[in-house]
């Protein structure tokens, strides 16, 4: 059966000192054991995080990855490098990567393949912008995002994907999707995967919600049957808030 997952996407925040303090505070916190906890610090803090998390159950993710094995790609980081510092997940397709760094569906497809070939589990982000929601196109938009970058995968490969539904209008805005909006979309995503693959595959995939999740709204969102956890931005930068979110299942 699918796992409950809470992943913290730190984005471009926390220097080595701040990362170290945050991780030490998380290590001291009482975290619900049934939930898989993942943190995604910046590249520069991954090796440090790996050391500090040694012997704990908190898993490490990167926020991005290059699609090639190695070579003349100044400034980029490969899957193999990530693996060598204990990374097991990689966030791909975040709306900030899509919008600011022009990552398109075709590129994301190659990144998904590269991650899986290197035994990194993609946390694949999808979600509509405000206009898409206002025009009633949100279901169509996520269907395209899923089919263009994931639906070439075999059923077995698909089992290693985590999906994060992050409506762009809810990211960093303080505005969240209502628990009902989240549930409706998650059911839609799961059904779409079931139609392409099988109910068994769809039921095994964790679908996380992301977008202004805070300790005060997490419980209602996670109470929905098809919301299997959260991808947390701002609130993941405070150990107390992140812990409260983890413990709100």
Residues at the contact surface with ligand 13P, assessed by CB under 6 A: 9, 94, 166, 171-172, 210-213, 231-235
Residues 233 and 58: their CA atoms lie apart, in Å, by 17
Q: How far is the CB of 145 from ligand 13P (least distance, A)?
A: 15
* Residue 30: partners with Cβ closer than 8 Å, 6 or more residues away: 243, 247
Q: Is 180 a catalytic residue?
A: no
Catalytic one among 103, 138, 166, 186?
166
How many angstroms separate the Cα of 77 from the Cα of each of 34, 81, 151, 157, 205? 32, 7, 25, 23, 27
* Residue 129: partners with Cβ closer than 8 Å, 6 or more residues away: 95, 168, 169
Residues 7 and 242: their CA atoms lie apart, in Å, by 9
Q: Are 242 and 236 in contact (CB under 8 A)?
A: yes
Residues 193 and 129: their CA atoms lie apart, in Å, by 22
Catalytic one among 66, 94, 138, 186?
94
| 122 vs 211, beta carbon nearer ligand 13P | 211
Count other Cβ atoms within 10 Å, centred on residue 180. Answer: 11
Q: Is 166 a catalytic residue?
A: yes
| 38 vs 171, beta carbon nearer ligand 13P | 171
Which residue number is nearest to ligand 13P in terms of Cβ? 233
| 146 vs 235, beta carbon nearer ligand 13P | 235
Q: How far is the CB of 170 from ligand 13P (least distance, A)?
A: 6
Tokens of 168: 């762009």
| 126 vs 153, beta carbon nearer ligand 13P | 126
| 81 vs 236, beta carbon nearer ligand 13P | 236
Residues 178 and 50: their CA atoms lie apart, in Å, by 35
Q: Which residues pair with 164 in a beta bridge?
A: 125, 208
How many angstroms separate the Cα of 71 from the Cα of each of 47, 97, 99? 21, 22, 26
Task: Give me the active site residues, please.
Answer: 94, 166
């Amino acid at each position: 059966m699918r796992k409950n997952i809470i992943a913290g996407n730190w984005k471009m925040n926390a220097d080595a000192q701040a990362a170290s303090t945050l991780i030490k505070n998380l290590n001291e916190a009482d975290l619900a054991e049934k939930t898989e906890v993942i943190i995604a610090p910046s590249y520069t803090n991954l090796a440090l995080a790996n050391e500090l998390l040694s012997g704990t159950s908190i898993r490490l993710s990167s926020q991005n990855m290059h699609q090639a094995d190695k070579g003349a790609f100044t400034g980029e980081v490969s899957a193999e490098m990530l693996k060598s510092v204990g990374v097991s997940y990689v966030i791909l397709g975040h709306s900030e990567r899509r919008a600011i760094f022009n990552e398109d569906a075709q590129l994301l497809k190659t990144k998904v393949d590269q991650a899986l070939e290197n035994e990194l589990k993609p946390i694949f982000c999808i979600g509509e912008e405000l206009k898409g929601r206002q025009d009633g196109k949100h279901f169509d938009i996520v269907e395209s995002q899923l089919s263009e970058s994931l639906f070439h995968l075999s059923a077995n490969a698909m089992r290693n994907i985590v999906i994060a539904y992050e409506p762009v209008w809810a990211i960093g805005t303080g505005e969240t999707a209502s628990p009902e909006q989240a549930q409706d979309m998650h059911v839609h995503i799961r059904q779409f995967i079931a139609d392409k693959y099988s109910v068994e595959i769809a039921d095994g995939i964790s679908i996380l919600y992301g977008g202004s999740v805070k300790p005060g709204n997490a419980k209602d969102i996670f109470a929905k049957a098809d919301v299997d956890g959260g991808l947390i931005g701002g609130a993941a930068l405070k150990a107390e808030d992140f812990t409260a979110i983890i413990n709100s299942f």
